[in-house]
Amino acid sequence: MTKIQFSIVVIIASIITISSVGLTSQNAFADHAFEGGVAAGTMPNAVHVFLAGQVMRPGDYLPVADYSPNYVTGHFLLIVPCDSNGNPAVIPIGGHFDELASKTWVDQLQMNYIAHASNPGKTCVYHSHVPAIGLSTVVHAGPPRVTDMGLLNISSKTVVFRTGNVAMFTLLTVAGDISTPNGYGSSGTMPYPYNQPRLPSAITGIAPIETGHSH
């Protein structure tokens, strides 16, 4: 057997070995304690996701930012297709996506419609305070502790994004560490409804969108 033939046999044997192993059902869950919260100088102060060409089917979630195990404050800007009434084709959601469903809690972010920068029926601009629990007279405050943010398509239609569509988050402060006992779910100390899991599938409609809050 030549060296080339021997090499081919070894490669084939390796492929057979790998394919026979496959995927296991072993799950690895993190409690985030080992991460110790924020490390100075490592947090991105702004995240931009250019959406042109992206496709979201009904029920799809598209992640934008993940600051786990830190829950943060900041501003979320969204420029996406909208209908003639200014309703967005997709909505921004936030909260915490945990490896365990029992510790996951997400909801639509508070949303302000920026009319003077929008073109209803084509493209609209929205701004969110993250979190919005400290705002007075807010209609929908959204999640109180946010480590994760992204977009959710709750409609029955596939959304195709155009040039100029973007999702952006600007970090203001790190408010705390989501590790127990600060997290969502029954292992945390947060009151109802945050001590119960809430998954993206629970979000079935668009929460009220406001005309704006001053900074």
Q: Is the pLDDT of residue 149 over 60?
A: yes
Closest residue by Cα to residue 79 from 139, 129, 130, 119: 119
Residue ranges covered by each domain of the chain: 44-202
Q: What is the reported pTM?
A: 0.81
Query: For residue 83, what pLDDT band results from cuts at 50, 70 and 90?
Result: very high
* DSSP state letter for 190: P
- For the chain, give the percent of residues with pLDDT over 90: 74
Question: Which tops the pLDDT comparison, 96 or 133?
Answer: 96
Per-residue pLDDT tens over the stretch 109-145: 999 999 999 999 999 999 999 999 877 778 899 999 9
What's residue 67's pLDDT? 96
Q: What is the mean pLDDT of residues 72-84?
A: 97
Spatial distance between the Cα atoms of 124 and 108, rounded to a whole number of angstroms: 17
Query: For residue 212, what pLDDT band results from cuts at 50, 70 and 90?
Result: low
Q: Is the pLDDT of residue 152 over 70?
A: yes
**Amino acid, res. 85:** N
Q: What is the side-by-side order of every strand in the sheet holding 148-152?
A: 61-66, 148-152, 91-96, 105-108
64: which 2 tokens?
Answer: 């934008």
What's residue 11's pLDDT? 41
- Yes or no: say if 105 and 185 are a contact pair by the CB < 8 Å rule: yes
Query: For residue 203, what pLDDT band results from cuts at 50, 70 and 90?
Result: very high
